[in-house]
A and B are shown apart, each in its own frame.
Chain A
Amino acid sequence: MSTLLILGSSSDVGIACAHRFAKEGFDLILATRNGDEYQRNLAADLSIRYNVHVVSVQFDALATSSHKSFYESLGVKPNVVLSVFGYLGNHEQALSDFTQANLIIASNFVGNVSILGIIANDMESKREGTIICVSSVAGERGRKSNYIYGSSKAGLTAFLSGLRARLAASNVHVATIIPGFIKTKMVELLPETPKPITASAAQVADAIWLANKAKKDVVYVLPIWRLIMFIIRNIPERIFKKTNL
């Protein structure tokens, strides 16, 4: 029996992944800071639909001092860990209000460094396991319109790359998922993104399942984003700084 731990299980992508992995027979540990009625119903639903064991646990990415005891308290240690939590924040506000900027960085970057670091050490000692973490195309180049969030994801992508290289020798796999746009509650208040380059949560879940199964290193969802980001990365700085991206 394999067990998946989802960090940030109330995210739309997290829910889609819960269905995807449970369908393949995975038991689930749903970790969320928001253990409300919805999460309880979700846990019941997943276990009834797919005949798997599902537990809900409390987890806050910002509460780094509790991460060690959080991981130690898990009765069954997961074979696969999926980190999907993330915080877009308010960029405008973050420019003048450091608390907001700090919250963005703490949620996306520091939170992952803390919890994935603990899990990585355990997996390394057992010489098995898979860590999958969702970063973002926003981390590929700092853009005027969201470079605080972008830099937190850039830090995350770099962290994952190093972690992968470190753990390769211990048979532990690290996959970095780099989505472009996803239609989820994170962006529901923003202007609608172009359909052909916007993925559904279910598409992201399929890509994540594949990354797990085929042990992929870096996955762009949708694949066209690899090309888009290649171009964006290669725009010379003197031109890039004049764009409104």
Chain B
Amino acid sequence: MGKVFNWGVFPRIDANQIAFSHYAKIAEFVKENLVIIPRGNGRCYGDSSLQKTIFSTLELNKFLSFDTENGMISCEAGVLLRDILEVIVPKGFFLPVTPGTKFITIGGAVASNIHGKNHHSEGSISRYIESFNLLNETGTIIHCSKNSNPALFTETIGGMGLTGVIISVNLKLKKIETSYIKQKAIKAKNIYEMLEYFDKFCDYTYSVAWIDCLSKGNSLGRSILMLGEHATNKELNEKQSHQPLAVHSNKQINVPFMFPNFVLNELSIKAFNFLYYHKQMQHEVDNVIHYNPYFYPLDAINNWNRIYGANGFTQYQFAIPFENGKEGLVKILTKIANSGCGSFLAVLKTFGENDAVASPLSFPIKGYTLALDFKISKKVFKLLDELDEIVLAYSGRLYLTKDARMNSDTFHKSYTTAFSHPAKFQSLQSMRLKI
């Protein structure tokens, strides 16, 4: 028994967490426990991978094969994206889809059907999963792909660990010429201008906007749009071209303790947002940077989640369809700006066509998606309940892997409930939401 919590440090529970690397032992463990949930690297924010009994996949950490001809990699479910990058980048490959941190496991990526800054152009990770092996409630390992056990294949992608333990994954990679990204950053004076830019630049592979949530009135939703393409050899500068496929083992800075709660008051958020907005004075900046600062700017600070203090924080990420989406975003941003419960990070992206192969629990729907961090407090829970109403009114939904607090009603109104799973695999979240 020990305290277990995920990235938001909320909730914190007492749990029995065990890791094995031998498949037979995992099967035994699954069979002898009534209720368990698989857990990867705990980078979901809330209780998706929490339960009294947890199977940790972190000892399932082996690469199984790497086909550099066809760009296919196969590895066990607990391998971190960081490790995959270290292996594939020097050979001219990249992850087809990546979240904003490389410290997640490939199993967690499949279970949450993760998306990146390229959903509008290239879809979620579901598109690139060739097959995986799943250990089910009877301890049997089942090979799943579009052709073998297709129903289980579909339900597990985005299935939040409720169908069984993913043991290994076979993933199609993206070919790259260099490990650098040609980046374009554009300032927008408010949300309206930003949404226009999203339309105008929709041909870019990668796009994401950082939003200052405290600005109001004419500046509501002032933001920076970051666009990106994989750079070609010709686009690198002299220094970069010495090692066009560099992995850069970047040093990490530690946040060594839980910050006192008062540090992150409204003022410090204001300062942060202001600095972020003014860091680049020109309207538009073009440059070529390594993939690390482009995709994983926050990974440079280890444990940055601790700046929110011991009470923890939660991330509120919703998606709403493009229809009336602008109106919905404005309503939500106005409500947040007026609430005084500022958000440290607010990130806006767009989702393209719905993913063809994914569980009913999978998050992306065609439209906008906004993610905001909130320090935990009573006031915040009330605000988020109110935001839920707006999201539902605009036919939207919340991302389960970020959630720690929505109620079961909200869930059932926004996700189809045509999903059944073995009673053995349940998280605190699936119990709370009655999934």
Interface residues on B, range: 10 to 19
When the two chains form their complex, are residues B65 and A48 in contact, meaning their CB atoms are under 8 A apart? yes
When the two chains form their complex, are residues A41 and B87 in contact, meaning their CB atoms are under 8 A apart? no
When the two chains form their complex, are residues B22 and A45 in contact, meaning their CB atoms are under 8 A apart? no
Q: Which of A31-58 contact B (CB under 8 A)?
A: 37-38, 41-42, 44-45, 48-49
What are the interface flags for B71-84 relative to A under an 8 Å C-beta threshold, 1 for contact and 0 otherwise? 00000100000010
Q: Which of B24-66 contact A (CB under 8 A)?
A: 61-66
Smallest Cβ distance from A38 to chain B, in angstroms?
6
- Answer whether residue B21 sits at the interface, using C-beta atoms and an 8 A cutoff: yes
When the two chains form their complex, are residues B66 and A48 in contact, meaning their CB atoms are under 8 A apart? yes
Closest residue of chain A to B90 (Cβ to Cβ) is A51
Closest residue of chain A to B62 (Cβ to Cβ) is A45
Smallest Cβ distance from B428 to chain A, in angstroms?
29
When the two chains form their complex, are residues B63 and A45 in contact, meaning their CB atoms are under 8 A apart? yes
In the assembled complex, which residues on chain B have CB atoms less than 8 Å from the CB atom of A37? Answer: 23
- Complex Cα distance, B22 from A41, in Å, reads 10
In the assembled complex, which residues on chain A have CB atoms less than 8 Å from the CB atom of B63? Answer: 44-45, 48-49
What are the interface flags for A13-47 relative to B under an 8 Å C-beta threshold, 1 for contact and 0 otherwise? 00000000000000000000000011001101100
Q: Which of A38, A44, A45 has the most CB of B within 10 A?
A: A45
Known: A49-B83, A49-B87. A41 touches B76 (CB 8 A): yes
Q: Which of B22, B62, B83 has the most CB of A within 10 A?
A: B62
- Complex Cα distance, B63 from A48, in Å, reads 7
In the assembled complex, which residues on chain A have CB atoms less than 8 Å from the CB atom of B64? Answer: 41, 44-45, 48
- Complex Cα distance, B243 from A41, in Å, reads 31
Residue of B23, B62, B86, B87 near A42 (CB, 8 A) is: B62
In the assembled complex, which residues on chain A have CB atoms less than 8 Å from the CB atom of B83? Answer: 49
Closest residue of chain A to B88 (Cβ to Cβ) is A48
- Complex Cα distance, B23 from A48, in Å, reads 21
What are the interface flags for B198-235 relative to A under an 8 Å C-beta threshold, 1 for contact and 0 otherwise? 00000000000000000000000000000000000000
Smallest Cβ distance from A82 to chain B, in angstroms?
21
- Complex Cα distance, B62 from A206, in Å, reads 21
- Complex Cα distance, B24 from A37, in Å, reads 10
Q: What DSSP secondary structure best describes chain B's contact surface?
A: mixed
In the assembled complex, which residues on chain B have CB atoms less than 8 Å from the CB atom of A38? Answer: 21-22
Smallest Cβ distance from B37 to chain A, in angstroms?
24
- Complex Cα distance, B371 from A59, in Å, reads 55
Smallest Cβ distance from B208 to chain A, in angstroms?
31
- Complex Cα distance, B84 from A45, in Å, reads 11
Smallest Cβ distance from A208 to chain B, in angstroms?
21
What are the interface flags for B11-26 relative to A under an 8 Å C-beta threshold, 1 for contact and 0 otherwise? 0000000000111000
In the assembled complex, which residues on chain B have CB atoms less than 8 Å from the CB atom of A44? Answer: 62-65
Closest residue of chain A to B83 (Cβ to Cβ) is A49
Known: A38-B22, A41-B64, A42-B62. A48 touches B87 (CB 8 A): yes
- Complex Cα distance, B62 from A42, in Å, reads 7
Closest residue of chain A to B79 (Cβ to Cβ) is A45
Smallest Cβ distance from B132 to chain A, in angstroms?
15
Q: Which of B122-147 contact A (CB under 8 A)?
A: none
Q: Which of A42-80 contact B (CB under 8 A)?
A: 42, 44-45, 48-49
Closest residue of chain A to B21 (Cβ to Cβ) is A38
In the assembled complex, which residues on chain B have CB atoms less than 8 Å from the CB atom of A42? Answer: 62
Smallest Cβ distance from B81 to chain A, in angstroms?
14
- Complex Cα distance, B23 from A95, in Å, reads 36
Smallest Cβ distance from B391 to chain A, in angstroms?
43
In the assembled complex, which residues on chain A have CB atoms less than 8 Å from the CB atom of B86? Answer: 49
Closest residue of chain B to A48 (Cβ to Cβ) is B63
- Complex Cα distance, B66 from A48, in Å, reads 7
Smallest Cβ distance from A37 to chain B, in angstroms?
7
- Complex Cα distance, B64 from A45, in Å, reads 6
In the assembled complex, which residues on chain B have CB atoms less than 8 Å from the CB atom of A45? Answer: 61-64
Closest residue of chain B to A15 (Cβ to Cβ) is B21
- Complex Cα distance, B21 from A45, in Å, reads 13
In the assembled complex, which residues on chain A have CB atoms less than 8 Å from the CB atom of B62? Answer: 41-42, 44-45
Closest residue of chain A to B66 (Cβ to Cβ) is A48
Closest residue of chain A to B60 (Cβ to Cβ) is A41
Closest residue of chain B to A42 (Cβ to Cβ) is B62
In the assembled complex, which residues on chain A have CB atoms less than 8 Å from the CB atom of B76? Answer: 41
- Complex Cα distance, B76 from A44, in Å, reads 11
Smallest Cβ distance from B316 to chain A, in angstroms?
38
- Complex Cα distance, B76 from A38, in Å, reads 11
Closest residue of chain A to B64 (Cβ to Cβ) is A44
Smallest Cβ distance from B414 to chain A, in angstroms?
40
Closest residue of chain B to A45 (Cβ to Cβ) is B62
- Complex Cα distance, B83 from A48, in Å, reads 11
In the assembled complex, which residues on chain A have CB atoms less than 8 Å from the CB atom of B87? Answer: 48-49
Smallest Cβ distance from A58 to chain B, in angstroms?
19
Smallest Cβ distance from B434 to chain A, in angstroms?
38
- Complex Cα distance, B61 from A44, in Å, reads 12
Closest residue of chain A to B23 (Cβ to Cβ) is A37
Closest residue of chain B to A47 (Cβ to Cβ) is B63
- Complex Cα distance, B83 from A45, in Å, reads 11
- Complex Cα distance, B63 from A3, in Å, reads 21
A binding-site residues for B, Cβ under 8 Å: 37-38, 41-42, 44-45, 48-49
22 A-B pairs (CB sep. < 8 Å): A37-B23, A38-B21, A38-B22, A41-B62, A41-B64, A41-B76, A42-B62, A44-B62, A44-B63, A44-B64, A44-B65, A45-B61, A45-B62, A45-B64, A48-B63, A48-B64, A48-B66, A48-B87, A49-B63, A49-B83, A49-B86, A49-B87
- Excluding A44-B64, A48-B64, 20 further A-B contacts by CB distance (< 8 Å) are A37-B23, A38-B21, A38-B22, A41-B62, A41-B64, A41-B76, A42-B62, A44-B62, A44-B63, A44-B65, A45-B62, A45-B63, A45-B64, A48-B63, A48-B65, A48-B66, A48-B87, A49-B83, A49-B86, A49-B87
Closest A-B pairs by Cβ, 7 of them: A45-B62, A48-B63, A41-B62, A45-B63, A48-B66, A44-B64, A38-B22
